[in-house]
Amino acid sequence: MCKRLKLASSREIGLFPRHLHKSFINHGMAETRGKFDFAIDRGGTFTDVFARLPDGRERVLKLLSHDPQNYRDAPTEGIRRILEQETGLSFPRDQPLDSSLIGWIRMGTTVATNTLLERQGERTALLVTRGFKDLLHIGTQARPNLFDLEVRMPGVLYEEVVEVDERVVLRQDGCQLPRKEPKRIVTGSTGDRLEVWQELDLQCVERDLKAVLSRGITSLAVLLLHSYVWPAHEKAVGSLARKLGFTQVSLSSEVMPMIRAVPRGYTVCADAYLTPKIHQYLNGFTTGFKGALKDVDVLFMQSDGGLTPMEQFSGSRAILSGPAGGVVGYAVTSYNSSENKPVIGFDMGGTSTDVSRYAGQYEHVFEATTAGVTLQAPQLDINTVAAGGGSRLFFRSGMFVIGPESAGAHPGPACYRKGGPLTVTDANLVLGRLLPDFFPHIFGPGENEPLSTEETIRQFQLLTHDINHFLYTNQSQHNGNGAGQSNSDGPKGCKSEMSVEEVAMGFIRVANETMCRPIRALTQAKGHDTSQHVLACFGGAGGQHACAIARALGMKTVFIHKYSGVLSAYGLALADVVEEVQEPCSLQYNEDSYSELDHRIQELTQRCHSTLYQRGLSSSQISTAVFLHMRYEGTDCALMVNASDYPAHAQSCQSGDFRTAFTKRYMKEFGFTIADRPIMVDDIRVRGSGKSGIKSVTMAIEGHGSPAPTKMIKCYFEEGYLDTSVYMWEDLSCGHSIEGPAIIIDKNSTILVEPGCSAQLTSSGDVCIAVGTDSQCVLGTELNTVQLSIFSHRFMSIAEQMGRVLQRTSISTNIKERLDFSCAVFGPDGGLVSNAPHIPVHLGAMQETVQYQLKAIGSSLKEGDVILSNHPCAGGSHLPDLTVITPVFWHGVSGPVFFVASRGHHADIGGITPGSMPPHSTSLQQEGAVFTSFKLVTEGVFQEKAVTKALLAPAQYPGCSGTRNLHDNLSDLRAQVAANQRGSQLVGELIDCYGLAVVQAYMGYIQSNAELAVRDMLKEFAHRQQQQTGSLEVEAEDQMDDGTPIRLKVQINEEEGSAVFDFSGSGTEVWGNCNAPRAITLSALIYCLRCMVGQDIPLNQGCLTPIKVIIPPGSILQPSQNAAVVGGNVLTSQRVVDVIFRAFEVCAASQGCMNNVSFGSEKSGYYETVAGGAGAGPGWSGRSGVHSHMTNTRITDPEILEKRYPVILQHFSLRPGSGGRGRYHGGDGVIRKLLFRSKVVLSVLTERRSTRPYGLHGGQSGSAGLNLLHRADGRVLNLGAKTTVSLEPGDIFCLHTPGGGGYGREEEEDEDGNPSPSKRQHLNEAFTERGSVFEYRRAQESV
């Protein structure tokens, strides 16, 4: 990633530090005595060079990656400079370098990442199975940002699509389709049998490909369904395309043969799009050398942390080429196998920070998203977060905010003298933690000036003035804030004026907390204790933050390698050559399959050995590791398992006891195993490694005691200004001990040793810091805006950690894999404080549930009690969402001081249909078991008998059943109790640290912060509305398909920033199940307010404080106690959003439906929601084929769907023209056709089949949806919006989802100052987040 802004570095640094003497061991391919060896990391801003000289000395060099006035290519220039300086010979820039002096070159590069970010790849066409031309546009159908109405998503990488007539389907034993003609039966690589329903017509393919070539497109990506298991059709297309003249042909079956067409399709497109550009770069690089480096061993780093020959370096494996070198660097240099102490890698650059983990093995992910493209390839699990040296500083609605926007290299931070904004780097400079005297004069327009402390202080003074003005003007509001004061009577109000240093220190603390959260998530997600890790710090900016972050996480040791500023380059020199092979599998792991698995493992191992032999490695250098991608049958939670620690025996594969390895790891990560459940093997992977890295042994000159500092300065800490010693790293010797506060400087980085910490130079010349414990927190109840931001992070972290426990300990697919749950923290009044993740239909709803319990049974609650509730009148959304509430008590206080709660969607709780979401229910009892204020745990005892009886109770009603999966219900309820217990424990730890009065006071301040943001938005809207219309009242109306109106009138008070939302006039309760409980309307309202605020705010009780909501009892929005509500949760909620946005004229209506489709039989069941069109708005057209507003569910991949269920997906594409026309068009809906292979019962629960999504300001309405059934006998039936129907084999369900409304009249011109979509995109550019923590959050928000 292009974020390596080394803020404490010069353009170039020189010789190996003089305090070290050197011996070295050459190993394998690294043995090139008498020649120069180079390891080079070409980053986005700087290029780092590590060189090993013929005499064994080492050099490091840093230069700008782009300096066209002086050189064409930075890596070549780095090699040239070292050769020239070390040999005394002249190597003119305009002539190729003499490569005979070079032993090997190893490189990591951000070329692929930058190409992807900037969308500057090769012109590419996609060839795909007919019916799926828009498959990769639709993708998972989830939007990346819940509250972004524009739904900004990167475009696809191809510019043309060729659909081909071919189709292969998996055979199913129970298939009952009539056989009209014999079909060719083939056997796939997994042993699965397939039927070729339509043979490939190469003549038609040739015609289409020639047409593509005629338009100048020479790169082709090929994606055919089920090619991962049977690639014959893809290979035929590939052979033809190469003959026709395509210069790059990427086949999905070769790039990554794994099931799931969508990520495999993204991966093959990325390969076709990026590989030609990589080859162009490589060709340009090699032409800078005589003989084009023909006799030099040139290796490139791949995303998986292994080196590969230059010729094999491809786009899909190159995305993390740069950061991967750093991971290898810290893994090799800081992990001690004898101590077995795991390490957290902390690479802080300019734009963002990379976090990773190493515990003896590299941690890989096999599907990750970069720049909006999901790649299915082995990648190191590198998590990128928005807090780098160049991250911008903001003060918003009373909170200190870091990023995600970055100042970049140009203009850079304010201190760079180029008109840049305040950044984290500027905060460190103001505090005295960066010393301009030790920086080169490379700043300013002429790049010849020092860092500007003056400009940084000037901007901080302005920001400090704004902050103090806020504190002064809001003091009266906070003095009157009663939130959280019920159990304390400490002082209230705002802190006195802040100084520039306090403001800068506040931003540093918030930045540190921002970086701590993903480290906690990365470790705790897999059951590891964060505090039992070493923090390995590298990157130019990390040394200034390492001690504080380690202390906050409870870590005792910080390790900083002597090459920390260029560790990614050094890691390349230490890395191994790697060859990975993988193929799909479809076997149960049992005695019957061991011989087959052993045979296939042996074949893959031989392929690895053969390839590495050909690359010049000997057998003594080669080792292989075998991995099986394993999961319990019927689940999607697969683990890539290595059995090296579990030796083979008679009841296992020859490569190890994979069953034990799998169950042990499953237990560690998820807290349980599933006894007697078959274990499936989805993929076999062999990773071959050729030991070829250098082994450097460095010895530092010994010293004793404390060294003499270079100078003394004043540096600002929590205690104020302290005398701080400054040392030059090169002056230190082994054994020297440095007590904090101190600063250690070399030419690559600045290390801050904080008070209470001590640093020592190791025998290898590295810095090891012992981190002291944090002093006891001392904080008053008055508002401190810095602590406000810190507490906001802490409360969110509690909710996030609760979610991790729930996901780990639950057993059902809905909670464990679909992540359909929310966890939250509430105040003593039941008001929401923090909620994670942000599932729209859960926002604010749990608050209603907690407050209902307070009114109903609050006085009887005791420590050890846990409440279960799902009733709509008690704040429930729909019955399958079970809410578990735990009161948090504190000694000396009679009532609960906080509440924690978790809401999870249970797959079945009884009722008239499996899944407890019947499309035709007319009473609540038909929808499943009901809990109002049920004590699930009484004084610490889980009430299993009572809750079992209640879950089976629906069977007493006609046509109903009790829960159909009692075991999963009980297991998940226990998991929810455990998650709440964790939340209660974390709240207790927070109170232990700060005191109850302080924690409750800041709970109130956080709620006030959200309130302030909403008030500001309402004031701004009221002012604009008053100017345009002279009125402060807005209203809107829309209808359900049955004609039931949803009416809203909003009266706004501009002075207060408050509003009354009056839904009077809305229709009465309906006979069906589209009644929406009050909690659903509140969730929709909070969602709309957050979208209109337009920036990140805490989503808590404060959002609704300025709002009065009037809902008439007995209406569709507040039905009677026994009304059916399942459709209200998934359908009416969308209409409420449409009405609110219509009143505020925010945007046109989106599809207004979740398109709920389910089918099943006695053997299995399936449920999905389907995307449609998003509404257009001022400055943007609506996104096509995406979920909108109150849902964001991912759709099942076509290959998974066809493998597991009796259905063939015949068609899945956009529905052209269904979006409303206008100045900005509404997004198109989709067309989805399902062919059923056996008898099933189909249920559809949809809306917008008779009413159309409205357009705005002259824009046209989107098309209504349509549900068609094509009977096998030729009849075509309109099913209507809601129905249940029995289907026969051969029947086809065809779903046409609604489009979004258009915005503005089609003939209107752009108004002056109205940004175009492209400009809007540019203005919102920020860093690219990635890693397993990011993917987990995305998955949580996609339900």
Tens digits of residue pLDDT in 955-999 = 999 999 999 889 889 989 989 998 999 899 999 989 988 899 999
User: pLDDT digits over 209-229, tens only?
Assistant: 999 999 999 999 999 999 999
Answer yes or no: is pLDDT of 19 > 60.
no
Q: Name the token pair of 1067.
A: 């229709």
Tens digit of pLDDT for each residue in 117-133?
A: 888 899 999 999 999 99
Instruction: Report d(CA 1079, CA 635) in Å as an integer.
Output: 32
Q: Compute the distance between CA of residue 33 and CA of residue 508 in angstroms, rounded to an integer.
A: 47
Those residues with Cβ within 8 angstroms of residue 182's Cβ, 6 or more apart along the chain or in another chain:
none
* Pairing status of strand 557-560 against strand 866-869: unpaired
Is the pLDDT at 804 greater than 90? The verdict is no
DSSP 794-838: HHHHHHHHHHHHHHHH--SHHHHTS--EEEEEE-TTS-EEEEES-
Q: Which of 296-305, 376-385, 561-570 comes out lowest in average pLDDT?
A: 376-385
- How confident is the model at residue 777, as a pLDDT? 55
- Predicted pLDDT of residue 814: 76
Tens digits of residue pLDDT in 1244-1293? 999 999 999 999 999 999 999 999 999 999 999 999 999 999 999 999 99
Q: What is the pTM of this model?
A: 0.85
Q: What is the mean pLDDT of the chain?
A: 87
> Taking residues 289-318, what's their average pLDDT?
90
pLDDT in tens, 853-894: 999 998 889 999 999 999 999 999 889 999 999 999 999 898
Asked if pLDDT for residue 487 goes beyond 70, the answer is no
Residues contacting residue 571 through CB under 8 Å, at least 6 positions apart? 39, 324, 325, 326, 327, 328, 329, 330, 331, 332
Instruction: Give the number of C-alpha atoms closer than 13 A to the C-alpha of residue 341, restricted to the C-beta side.
Output: 17
The residue to which tokens 């229709």 are assigned? 1067
Average pLDDT of the residues in 360-376: 84
Q: Using omega within 30 degrees of 0 as the cis cutoff, is the peptide bond preceding 741 cis?
A: yes
What is the distance between the alpha carbons of residues 634 and 259, in angstroms, rounded to a whole number? 16
pLDDT at 913 over 90: no
- Residue 39 to residue 102: CA distance in whole angstroms: 11
In 3D, which of 1036, 770, 1071 has the Cα closest to residue 920?
1071
Note the pLDDT of residue 1199: 94
List all residues 6 or more positions away from 727 whose beta carbon is below 8 Å from its beta carbon: 707, 709, 710, 738, 742, 743, 744, 745
Q: Which of 338-347, 493-502, 1110-1119, 1276-1285 has the lowest mean pLDDT?
A: 493-502
Question: Whole-angstrom Cα distance, residue 1058 to residue 974?
Answer: 41
* Phi, psi for residue 1136 in degrees, rounded to 5: -60, -45
Q: Which of 158-167, 371-380, 600-609 has the lowest mean pLDDT?
A: 371-380
Least confident of 329-338, 440-449, 878-887, 1193-1202: 440-449
Q: pLDDT band for 1325, please (50, 70, 90 cuts).
A: very low
- Higher pLDDT: 495 or 376? It is 376
Say which residues have a Cβ less than 8 Å from residue 702's Cβ, sequence separation at least 6. 733, 734, 735
CA torsion 1324→1327→1333→1336, rounded to 10°?
A: 30
Of 439-448, 454-463, 1077-1086, the poorest mean pLDDT is in 439-448
Is residue 1210 within 8 A of residue 1235, CB to CB? The reply is yes
Predicted confidence at residue 25, as pLDDT, reads: 30
Q: What is the pLDDT of residue 784?
A: 78
pLDDT tens digit string along 100-114? 999 999 999 888 888
Q: Pairing mode, if any, of strands 742-745 and 720-728? A: parallel
User: Do residues 1237 and 1210 touch, judged by C-beta distance below 8 A?
Assistant: no
Which of the pair, 1320 or 862, is modelled with greater confidence?
862
Query: Of the given ranges (396-410, 640-654, 671-685, 1116-1130), which has the lowest mean pLDDT?
Result: 396-410
* Band of pLDDT at residue 481, cut at 50, 70 and 90: very low
Q: Which of 411, 408, 403, 370 is nearest to 387 (CA)?
A: 403
